[in-house]
Structure 1
């Protein structure tokens, strides 16, 4: 299975990759650091099984990435889980309306972040 992690902060991307591999080591991970690179990568190869998307991105933010992906029939069925430090309920609602299947708050405690990601993956049938 292939996962795309979109996060502009290298440490956050690394922690997300670690948490994902603890949930399911079968994921082959690609990391990009902005929304523009995510869209380019997805246009070039649309064979990802999962996208883990930060909202606060340079160039093209996560909301715009969600809008673009939901408008492309060949990408609209790829599950997207938003990872964000945002605590706004309106951001969670907006991401769901734009097609995200889950929202995981970036926690300072890795164990909490991992548990939330694991729960979200399981709820969406994305664990082996």
Structure 2
């Protein structure tokens, strides 16, 4: 299998600064070499994906190969952003993993109905987060063939 790890950007949409830091540290702990970008809400996520505002430079802000999406964010929540992404013919092929504190069956059903690739509840300990991120990155970057975006 080819090694796409070097070229696939992970875009993480999460409004919680501590969660963003912990996700970054968990990925670093797993020695993941992928570039990371972070956005704080659904509106900024959509600006990034459409290359608008501060995200116009596609060299600096390329389209992601994977989005990790929190559901509960201000301005535009993850559900709304997910719906918009999956309705956009230029963006809908980007795999999206919901990574949230929600365990609500309603959220699980709705996000899968909207086209999410996976739904994961955030672990409560850092050790569990590191393990979960290892499994997630092994799956998405070692096992799965991702489309070029």
TM-score range, shorter chain: 0.7 to 0.9
User: Is the contact between residue 4 and residue 50 of structure 1 (CA under 8 Å) also seen in structure 2?
Assistant: yes
Match in the other structure for 2:93: 77
Query: Helix, strand or coil for the counterpart of 1:47?
Result: coil
Match in the other structure for 2:107: 91
Q: Which runs of 5+ in 2 are unaligned?
A: 1-7, 52-57, 144-149
User: Are residues 1:105 and 2:121 paired?
Assistant: yes
Per-residue Cα deviation, 1:86-112 (whole angstroms, up to 9, x for no partner): 111221121111111111211221122
Match in the other structure for 1:126: 141
TM-score by length of 1: 0.88
TM-score by length of 2: 0.77
- The two structures, once aligned, show a CA RMSD in angstroms of 1.8
More strand by share: 1
The CA deviation at 1:51 is 0.5
Q: Which runs of 5+ in 1 are unaligned?
A: none
Point out the structure with max Rg over C-alpha. 2
Q: 2: CA distance between counterparts of 1:7 and 1:98?
A: 19
Aligned residue pairs total 127
Which segment is superposed worse, 110-119 or 61-70?
Answer: 110-119
Query: Helix, strand or coil for the counterpart of 1:78?
Result: coil
Q: 2: CA distance between counterparts of 1:21 and 1:74?
A: 30
